[in-house]
Chains A and B, each alone.
Chain A
Amino acid sequence: MLEAIDLVKRYGQVRALNGFSLRVAAGEIVGLVGHNGAGKTTFVEIVSNLTRPDSGTVTIGGKSGTATRGLVGIAPQHISLYPSITVAEHLRLYGKLAGLRGKSLRSAIDDLAVMLRLTEIMDRSAAVLSGGQQRRTQAATALIHRPPVLLLDEPTAGADLETRQATLDVVKQRAGEGAAVVYTTHYLPELTELHATIAVARHGRVIARGSSEELMDGLPGEVRLTFEENEEISVSTTQPTATLIDLLSRADRPVAAVDVRHPSLDDLYRSLAVNDVS
């Protein structure tokens, strides 16, 4: 569905993208992760036709350039709402710009209002919404026209639990209907809940791609036992559960607390950074 091949984008001396390639199939959710400056947002901007790559191509369902207009729903990283405009007016505007009219527009707005828990705040202007409500409204503007490609750039950044869950639910639903979703985030558990495959960006290109199990396989987590005298032992291990059982069976004193830390995205970045020669 979405295919980006060998994208290069320079801003002066800085190479924001340096051979960035990513394919996302219909119905697939790809968690695009990477540190700030890895090229995630530039990639999103290119796919949204906000900026042109210096080289490389993007196609959506075989179409490229301005022919992809209307095929992408985007929720940018930063909040981009009109302060004096209500939630309902935002949805009507973006729906109409996508060509929705009358009954289909009303039904799209009603559906999203329920799914993203916006029903109670439809008549409130964006300026008086909480951060989470603004996030949900912004996500709704991306989803209103049911596009085949969704670009959600950290849609839950700083959001409350209600917003996070509502967003994840609707993303899963849309992917279930066949949308290709690119979801950038710094929260690995969200990608696990979305059953997303992961693409790791670094220095403007994708350096690893696979399921979270594949990518995390072999990365060490940590097991920590705290004894009643406040003494601690901490073991770095690739098999936290087995290590925990082993440590508990060998403990000769009462254990006060157990802490098992599974590998995180930071561990993955660190591991990939070691292997990434660029």
Chain B
Amino acid sequence: MFLDTAYRSGALDSLNRVGALARHNITIRRRDPGQMISYVVMPMVLMLVLKPLYVRAVDAGATQVATGLMVMFSVFAISMAGNAILAERTWKTWDRLRATSAPAAELLIGKTTPIFVVMVIQQSILLTYGCLVIGLPVPREPWFVLLSIMIWAFTLLSIGAVLATIVRSHGELSVISDVGALTLSSLGGALVPLSIMPTWAQYAAHLSPGYWALSMMQAAIRGDEVHMLLPAAVLLTIGAVAGTIAVRRLTRGWGRSRLL
């Protein structure tokens, strides 16, 4: 006979569904860890190689090379978020999930939480490596750093999600996320310190989320909560706007694309 599988809205039922989705998405991530590995190993190698140059060229060179490359490669991780969501479209599994008992909000939380955690782990590993190997000062307030990492991961996840709902193919996503990541992070001072960039670039940097992320991270490492506030507010706003658009698109389905 029929099982009683009508939708139940209780908190425990909801938690169970989100848990099942999160575990499922962790399994998918675990079986295809290539991107994550490259976005952790590449900046580690670059930090090591570029450190002498930065230390001689600028004040606080170790901080610049560690936080700069961490921000740069965390921006690259946008494609990780984008691909994870876009893959649901390629596999035609998102609509299949939407037809289950789980409401759209639960599907989104279950889908994005593992990606968020992966991004937090990536940034934490890079900053820890920065402290242990590169000479990044050990943060006076580790909680500020953790908070900054979480805010930045939220912003990146939202941008990646909205990109995944706009692009028409994995190729388009790669182009936008790679070119965008390089442009935004270098414009934001992740590669070259802002102080030695041309004047126009110093103004234009304010348009880059990378600039605000770098400002927030460096303030957090100094334990300077006052200078964390504005960058955190800007990043949270960008994340909220992008996230809202992504949620609206994902809850309604994608429609049809000529390329997917």
Residues B31 and A99 in contact, CB atoms below 8 Å apart? no
- For the complex formed, measure the closest distance between the CB of A183 and the CB atoms of chain B, giving whole angstroms: 17
Give the A interface residue count (CB, 8 A): 41
Residues B92 and A79 in contact, CB atoms below 8 Å apart? yes
Residues B32 and A69 in contact, CB atoms below 8 Å apart? no
Q: How far is the CA of A141 from the CA of B102 in the complex (A)?
A: 14
Residues A71 and B6 in contact, CB atoms below 8 Å apart? yes
Is residue A132 contacting chain B, with contact meaning CB distance below 8 A? no
Which of under 10, 10 to 19, 20 to 34, or 35 or more describes the interface residues of B?
20 to 34
Q: What are the 3 A-B residue pairs with the smallest beta carbon separation, nearest first?
A: A70-B101, A96-B20, A69-B7
Which residues from 156 to 214 on chain A have a C-beta closer than 8 Å to any C-beta of chain B? 177-179
Residues A98 and B16 in contact, CB atoms below 8 Å apart? no
Which A residues touch B95, using CB under 8 A? Answer: 45, 50, 76, 80
Which A residues touch B206, using CB under 8 A? Answer: none
Interface string of B134-167 (1 = CB under 8 A from A): 0000000000000000000000000000000000
Is residue B248 contacting chain A, with contact meaning CB distance below 8 A? no
Residues A97 and B100 in contact, CB atoms below 8 Å apart? yes
Residues A84 and B7 in contact, CB atoms below 8 Å apart? no
Q: How far is the CA of A172 from the CA of B97 in the complex (A)?
A: 25
Interface string of B1-37 (1 = CB under 8 A from A): 1111111100001001100110010011001100000
Which of B1, B3, B17, B21 has most A Cβ within 10 Å? B3
Knowing A85-B24, A85-B28, the reply to whether A101 touches B16 (Cβ < 8 A) is yes
Is residue B93 contacting chain A, with contact meaning CB distance below 8 A? yes
Which residues from 123 to 173 on chain A have a C-beta closer than 8 Å to any C-beta of chain B? 141, 145-148
Residues B91 and A81 in contact, CB atoms below 8 Å apart? yes
Could you name 28 residue pairs across A and B whose Cβ atoms are closer than 8 Å?
A48-B99, A50-B99, A50-B253, A51-B253, A67-B6, A67-B7, A69-B7, A70-B101, A71-B6, A72-B99, A74-B96, A80-B93, A81-B91, A84-B27, A84-B31, A92-B20, A93-B20, A97-B17, A97-B21, A99-B5, A99-B13, A99-B16, A99-B17, A101-B16, A145-B5, A146-B2, A146-B5, A178-B2
Q: How far is the CA of A145 from the CA of B100 in the complex (A)?
A: 10
Is residue B180 contacting chain A, with contact meaning CB distance below 8 A? no
Residues B98 and A50 in contact, CB atoms below 8 Å apart? yes
- For the complex formed, measure the closest distance between the CB of A71 and the CB atoms of chain B, giving whole angstroms: 6
- Chain B residue at minimal CB-CB distance from A84: B31
Is residue A100 contacting chain B, with contact meaning CB distance below 8 A? yes
Which of B7, B96, B97, B102 has most A Cβ within 10 Å? B96
- For the complex formed, measure the closest distance between the CB of A40 and the CB atoms of chain B, giving whole angstroms: 16
Is residue A89 contacting chain B, with contact meaning CB distance below 8 A? yes
Given A50-B99, A51-B253, A81-B91, 4 additional A-B pairs, CB 8 A: A49-B98, A71-B6, A89-B27, A147-B5
Within 8 Å by CB of A96, from B8, B17, B31, lies B17
